[in-house]
A and B are shown apart, each in its own frame.
Chain A
Amino acid sequence: MTAPTDDLKFEDAYVPEPEPGPEPLHRRLGLTDDEYRSVCRILGREPRPAELAMYSVMWSEHCSYKSSRPFLDRFPTEAPWVVVGPGENAGVIDLGDGWLAALRIESHNHPTFVEPFQGAATGIGGILRDVFTMGARPVALWDQIRFGPLDQPRNRYLFTGAVSGIAWYGNAVGVPTVGGEVAFEECYSGNPLVNVMCLGLMRSDELVLGTAGRPGTVAVLLGAATGRDGIGGASVLASASFDESSTTKRPSVQVGDPFEEKKLIEACLELYRRGLVVGIQDLGAAGLSCATSEPAARAGVGMEVHLEAVHVREPGMTAAELLMSESQERMMAFVDPDHVDQVLAVAERWEVDASVVGTVRAGGTLSVYEGDELVAEVPAASLSEDAPRYRRELGEPGWMEDLWSNTLGLVAPPDTSKTLLLLLDDPSIASAAWVYEQYDHMLFLNTVVGPGHDGTLLRVKGTTKGLAVSTDGNGRLCYLDPRRGAARLVYEAALNVALCGARPRAVVDNLNFGNPEKPEVMWQFRETVEGIAEACEALGVPVVGGNVSFYNETDGQDIYPTPVVGMLGLADPMPTSPPRLDRAADGMDLWLFGPEWAINLAGSAFEQVAFGHVGGRPVAPDPTLAAAAIDAAVTLAADGLAPVLHDISDGGLAVAVAEICIASDIGVSLRVSDWRHLYAEDPHRFLAAAAPEDAERIAEVAADAGIPARRIGRFEGIDIVFELPGAVASVDVETAARTYREAIPRRVG
C-alpha cells in the first residue's frame, strides 16, 4: 500500500469495522462502507485521501445516477433528427439547413433550499455550460420553480430569493429567460424545486464533444480561479436528505459570477469557430475530478494532471479540495499542442484566465500530481463507468388504493363566480408576470411569443424556422397516479408546442423525487419513467437528455413525485402570425376542441384550491386523441385561422377562458351542459378564438384531424358569463384581471 498523503489532515481515512467515535472519512464524504470496499478493490489498495475525495463526488447519486440508470434505459432515444442523445452534456437535434439545437435540463433544488439566491443563480451558470460545452450559443432559458405556500415567511424568503438570483445571474450573463413554471404546494415547503432548461443553437460544423482526444493533447483550464466554494456539492448537498441543520451546509453552495461566465461563453465560442479545440468539458458537479476523468474515459485514454498549475483563489488548498471544488465558471479545453498558444491568446483577448494543467496519456490511468508528489493514480474510467449500480427495492405504496377511492364526491356545484376568482387568485394559476418581468426575456431578438403563453416561440434568424418550447410539471397529478400523470405531462407539453404551430421533436426531463432508499419512491420513479416513455413512444418523440434529482425529502417527508418535461418543437416555416392569448376580439367565436364530456375532477386545481382535497384517480391519456389534438393545433396555428389558441390545464376551462379574456381585455359568453366541465382538467383539450366567417374551415380542420370541436361561446362585452343548466354566473374582466395579476405581488409584499 502506498502511504496516503496527509493533505486532508484526517487520521481516520479507513475504519474497516466502524467503532463508535468519529465517523470515518469515506462516510463523511458520503460513501457507504460497501462503496469504500469497491474503491479498494479497483485500486488494489486503500485509497489516498485525494482519491477517496474523487470517488466520493463521482460516485454520488447526483453524478453517477446509481439508483436511476437501470430505469432510464427505458426511454426511446432515437429519431432520424437526433445528433447526440443522452449521456453527453446536452442532447442535440438537427433542425435542417445546417442548424443544430442543443437542449438540457438540470435541477438546483438543494442548494436553493440552503441559500436561495446563489443556489438558483448557479443553477443557471451550470446549465449554460452544459450547452455551450457542445459548441452551441445558449439562446434561451426556462425556469421551473416550486415552493411551499406563500403564507409562510420562509417560503416567501426562498421564493423571492430564488427569483432574484435567477434574475441577477441570467440577466447579467446575457441569456434571456423566456418562460418556465411557477407552482406552490405544501410538499415543497421543506424542499423547493428549482429546475432550469437551456436551449442552444449552432451550425452543424460547430458541434464539439467532451472528449480528451489522443495522447499528447493538452488540457487547458479556462475561467474562474478555483477556490474552496462548493466543496462536495454533489455528494454532501445534492445526494442527501435534509433536516433542520441543513443551513449549516451553506459552505457547500457555490457562488456564481455571471460576468466571468459571459466572458467564458464568448471565449469558448471563438475557440470553436476557429477550430482550436479537440474537445471540451465543463466543470460543474465534481469539478476537476469529473472534467479530467470523463473526457479521458470517453476517449479511452489517461491523463497526467498537475494541480500546482491550477490558478487558485486562495493559497493552501489541498489536493482533495482542488479536485472536489465546484467553483463556478470553469471549462477544461482539450487542445492540440500546436494550438495552445492560440488558445491562450483567445483567452487573453476575452480577459479569461487560463492554465495548462495536464496532458493526455496513452493507457487509461489518471495521474494527479501536486508538484513532484503523486496524489492520485486511478483508472480514469473507474470514476464514471465503475460507479455502483443499485437495484433499489420497489413497492407500490400502500396508500394508492385509499387515494384513488378518496373522491370528493361533490353533489352541488359551488358558486361559479367566487370559484373562478378563487382559482385566479391561486399563485400556481395566477399571472407569473411578477416573476418573468424581472427576467430579460427579449435579448437576441428571437422571442416571438414570450412568457405568459402555453409555449414560447422563438425565431431562428436567417431561416424560416421557429422553435417552440414548453415545460410542464404537475406534482399533484403524479402523486395521484405517477404513470398517468407523467404521460399527461408529455402530451400537455407536446400540445403546447403544437399550439405555437410546431411539431414536437425532442424531450428532456428533470425527475425530482424523494428518497430512493424508500421502495415507494422507487415505485413512483419507475411508474413515472414508464409514463414518459409510453407517451414519447406514442408521439414518436425521443428523449435526448435528462436529470434525476433524488433525496428531495426533509425530515423524512418526501415531495410529490415531480417530473418536469421540456418539449422542443420545430415549426418550418414559422407561422407569420402565430396565435397569442391577447388576440381575441369582439364577435369572435369561442371553440372547444376535445372530448365534450369532461367531468373527472381528480387531481384538479379546483378540488385542491376550493376544497383542499387531493384524491381520486386522474383520467388516463388517450394517445390517439393526443395525436389528433396536435394535428389540429398545428394546422390552425400555421394557417393563421385561429388568432388565439390556448390549452386547458390548471383550473380547467373556466380559468383557460378567463386567461384569454384577461389578456385580450374582452368579455365572453359561453354555455356548458354540466358545471364540472368548467373545472375538469382532462387532457388533449384546447380553446380557440376565431372569426365567425371561418367557422366552416375550422370545423373541417377538426374533422380532418379526428378530434371533436364545437362552438361554445362568443367574445363580447366586458364580463365573463357562464351559462349553466338553470343558472347564469358572471365575473367582470377587470375584476378577474386584477385578481389574476395581483395574486403573487400581494403575497410577497
Chain B
Amino acid sequence: MTRIGVVTFPGSNCEHDTVHTLGLAGADAELVWHRDTDLAGLDGVVLPGGFAHGDYLRPGAIARFSPVMGEVARLADEGRPVLGICNGFQILCEAGLLPGAHIANRDLAFICRPVEVEVVDTGSVLTRAAEPGRRLRIPLNSYEGAWVDPTGEGRVVLRYTDDPNGSQDQAAAVANQEGNVVGVMPHPERASEPILGSDDGLVLLRGFVEACREVKV
C-alpha cells in the first residue's frame, strides 16, 4: 500500500477530506502532526487546505517554521512527491520549496466556487495522469489565492481558463523544475465524487498516488 502523510497544522481544516479522497485514489493516507519530526516510511506528503496557525501574519508564514517542515524539505530533496493544496501551496511557497508567493484575490473577496482549469504541463506528480489540454472543473476556496512569481522559475502545470483571481500566468497549479513538488490552489479533493458535482479532480490525485508508489522502489 502506498503510504501518504497528510500534515495537520493547528488551523488546518481539509486534512480529513484529503485523507478520505486519497483513499478513493488508492492510497493509505494518514494524519501527521505538525510537531512530528520523523516521516520515515512515508512515500509522499500532502499539505492540506485550511488556515495553518490562523494564517496569522500571512498564510504559511508561521507554518514554514513548524517542526515537521524540515522533514518535508528532506523528502522533497530526495525526490519524493510533495503536494500542497490551497493553504498547503501557500506554505510550500513560504518554505521556499516552490517559487513565488501568494497575494489577495484581485477582487479582494474570498472565492468559493467551481472554476475551470486546463492541463498545460503533465511533467509533474500532480498532472502526470491527465491528458494535456484537458479541462477540469474543480472548486476554488481561497482569499490569498493569486500566485505571483517575479523569478519566473515556476512551472505552471494547471491554468485557469477564466482568470478568477488575478494569478500570474493564470496559474492554478505550479511545480518545481523537477516536478516532484507541486502546489495547487483549487481543491481536487472536493471534485472527486460525482455526488458532489464533479470527479474531475480524481485524475490528479490518482496520478499523485501513482507517483508516490513508483518512487517507493
A interface list, Cβ under 8 A from B: 167, 171-174, 257-260, 262-263, 266, 350-351, 433, 436-445, 447-448, 459, 461, 576
Contact of B55 among A172, A266, A438 (CB under 8 A): A172
Extra inter-chain contacts (11) besides given A174-B50, A259-B53, CB under 8 Å: A171-B143, A174-B51, A259-B51, A262-B54, A436-B112, A438-B109, A438-B110, A439-B110, A442-B196, A443-B17, A444-B16
CA–CA, A171 and B17, complex, Å:
15
Contact of B21 among A167, A259, A445 (CB under 8 A): A445
A-B contacts, 8 listed (Cβ < 8 Å):
A171-B110, A171-B141, A171-B143, A172-B11, A174-B12, A259-B55, A445-B20, A445-B190
Q: List, in ascending order, chain B residues with CB within 8 A of A433's CB.
A: 113
CA–CA, A263 and B50, complex, Å:
12
Does A438 lie within 8 Å of B189, measured CB to CB? Answer: no
Does A259 lie within 8 Å of B56, measured CB to CB? Answer: yes
Contact A445 B13, CB 8 Å, known A172-B51, A440-B112:
no
Q: List, in ascending order, chain A residues with CB within 8 A of B14's CB.
A: 443
B interface list, Cβ under 8 A from A: 10-14, 16-17, 20-21, 50-51, 53-56, 109-113, 139, 141, 143, 187, 189-190, 193, 195-196
B193 and chain A: residue at smallest CB distance: A445
Q: List, in ascending order, chain A residues with CB within 8 A of B141's CB.
A: 171, 440, 442-443
Does A262 lie within 8 Å of B112, measured CB to CB? Answer: no
Min CB distance A217 to B, Å, is: 28
Contact of B196 among A437, A445, A576 (CB under 8 A): A445
The residue in B11, B111, B112 that gathers the most chain A C-beta atoms within 10 A of its C-beta is: B112
Q: List, in ascending order, chain A residues with CB within 8 A of B54's CB.
A: 172, 257-260, 262
B14 and chain A: residue at smallest CB distance: A443
Top-5 shortest CB links A-B:
A259-B54, A174-B13, A172-B51, A438-B110, A437-B113
Does B189 lie within 8 Å of A445, measured CB to CB? Answer: yes
Q: List, in ascending order, chain A residues with CB within 8 A of B51's CB.
A: 171-172, 174, 258-259, 262
Does B10 lie within 8 Å of A351, measured CB to CB? Answer: yes
Min CB distance B142 to A, Å, is: 9
A160 and chain B: residue at smallest CB distance: B109
The residue in B13, B17, B55 that gathers the most chain A C-beta atoms within 10 A of its C-beta is: B13
Min CB distance A417 to B, Å, is: 30
CA–CA, A479 and B154, complex, Å:
60
Q: List, in ascending order, chain A residues with CB within 8 A of B110's CB.
A: 167, 171, 437-440
A443 and chain B: residue at smallest CB distance: B13
Q: List, in ascending order, chain B residues with CB within 8 A of A448's CB.
A: 195-196
Min CB distance B148 to A, Å, is: 22
Contact of B111 among A350, A437, A461 (CB under 8 A): A437
Does A259 lie within 8 Å of B20, measured CB to CB? Answer: no
Does B193 lie within 8 Å of A262, measured CB to CB? Answer: no
Contact of A439 among B16, B112, B189 (CB under 8 A): B112
Does B111 lie within 8 Å of A447, measured CB to CB? Answer: no
Q: List, in ascending order, chain B residues with CB within 8 A of A257's CB.
A: 54
Does A263 lie within 8 Å of B112, measured CB to CB? Answer: no
Q: List, in ascending order, chain A residues with CB within 8 A of B11's CB.
A: 172, 174, 259, 262-263
CA–CA, A444 and B190, complex, Å:
9
CA–CA, A586 and B111, complex, Å:
32
Q: List, in ascending order, chain B residues with CB within 8 A of A444's CB.
A: 16-17
Q: List, in ascending order, chain B residues with CB within 8 A of A442's CB.
A: 112, 139, 141, 187, 190, 196
CA–CA, A579 and B109, complex, Å:
30
Contact of A262 among B10, B187, B190 (CB under 8 A): B10
A574 and chain B: residue at smallest CB distance: B195
The residue in A172, A433, A459 that gathers the most chain B C-beta atoms within 10 A of its C-beta is: A172
CA–CA, A266 and B10, complex, Å:
9
